[in-house]
């Protein structure tokens, strides 16, 4: 994947004044981490969103700011709760010469014969794994081919993943990624069959008591 570069300018406005910045087509953001102190920045909302929307949390993004380049990772994307567009982004500045520990998402790909032929249910375990590596060696995600899950009971664990030797996996290799399980059949409770002769007729008292009849009887 080509290098992701986002151009930015220093931002002095904060708080409620940021709304005017957004209305002017700017996207506010902050850079923290491997910098002396957090840097408030703004970016062209259209251009930045076009790039950031296609990147994952493990994607390396270079922020160009006043002639300097800051290698970063996107740590948080805040979106408008109705319209869904970006309204703020947190970038973590990293050093390309120091290893970092972060989570990589797992993407299941392919078709499982167990699901197709035996109507199995593909249960998933981990959806991401922690790894340690240099920032520039981070993959977008880890693709797991489930076509090897052919029978009910077949599974894929962390130890089965094909991962670059530049990544050090920081989770138990016996952790499960996906497994084919049998579909649970719903138990239907049968209504009890009542034979007609087993039903005792209900006696309904009709008529009025005669005058002077003892109510206690």
Nearest to 164 by CA among 132, 194, 200, 191: 132
**Which one of 2.170.120.20, 2.60.120.10, 2.30.42.10, 3.90.110.10 gives the CATH number of domain 100-181?**
2.170.120.20
Report the pLDDT value the prediction gives residue 193, as an integer from 0 to 100: 56
Report the pLDDT value the prediction gives residue 78, as an integer from 0 to 100: 95
pLDDT tens, residue by residue, 124-157: 999 999 999 999 999 999 999 999 999 999 999 9
Residue intervals in the chain for CATH 2.40.240.10: 4-93
Nearest to 28 by CA among 118, 88, 112: 88
Report the pLDDT value the prediction gives residue 212, as an integer from 0 to 100: 45
What are 213's two structure tokens?
């009849």
| Alpha-helical segments (H) within the chain | 18-23, 45-52, 113-118
CATH 3.40.50.2000: does it fit domain 4-93? no
Ranges of the chain whose pLDDT falls below 50: 196, 199, 203-217
Residues 155 and 150: their CA atoms lie apart, in Å, by: 9
Q: How many CA atoms lie within 13 A of 130 on its CB side?
A: 5
Report the pLDDT value the prediction gives residue 217, as an integer from 0 to 100: 42
Whole-structure pTM value = 0.76
Residue intervals in the chain for CATH 2.170.120.20: 100-181
């Amino acid at each position: 994947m080509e290098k992701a570069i986002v151009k930015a300018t220093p931002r002095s406005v904060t708080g409620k004044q940021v709304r005017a910045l957004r209305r002017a087509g700017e996207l506010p953001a902050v850079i923290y981490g491997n910098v002396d102190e957090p840097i408030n920045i703004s970016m062209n909302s259209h251009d930045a969103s076009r790039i950031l929307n296609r990147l994952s949390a493990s994607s390396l993004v270079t922020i160009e700011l006043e002639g300097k380049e800051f290698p970063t990772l996107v740590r948080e994307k805040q979106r408008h709760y109705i319209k869904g567009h970006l309204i703020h982004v947190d970038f973590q500045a990293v050093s390309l010469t120091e290893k970092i520990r972060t989570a990589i998402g797992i993407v299941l790909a392919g078709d499982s014969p167990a699901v197709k032929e035996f109507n199995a249910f593909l249960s998933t375990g981990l959806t991401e794994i922690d790894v340690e590596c240099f920032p520039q060696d981070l993959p977008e995600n880890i693709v797991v081919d489930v076509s090897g899950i052919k029978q009910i009971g077949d599974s894929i664990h962390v130890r089965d993943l094909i991962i670059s030797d530049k990544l050090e996996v920081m989770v138990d290799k016996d952790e499960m990624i996906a497994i084919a399980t049998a579909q649970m059949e719903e138990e239907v409770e049968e209504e009890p069959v009542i034979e007609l002769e087993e039903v005792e007729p209900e006696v309904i008292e009709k008529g009025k008591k005669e005058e002077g009849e003892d109510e206690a009887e």
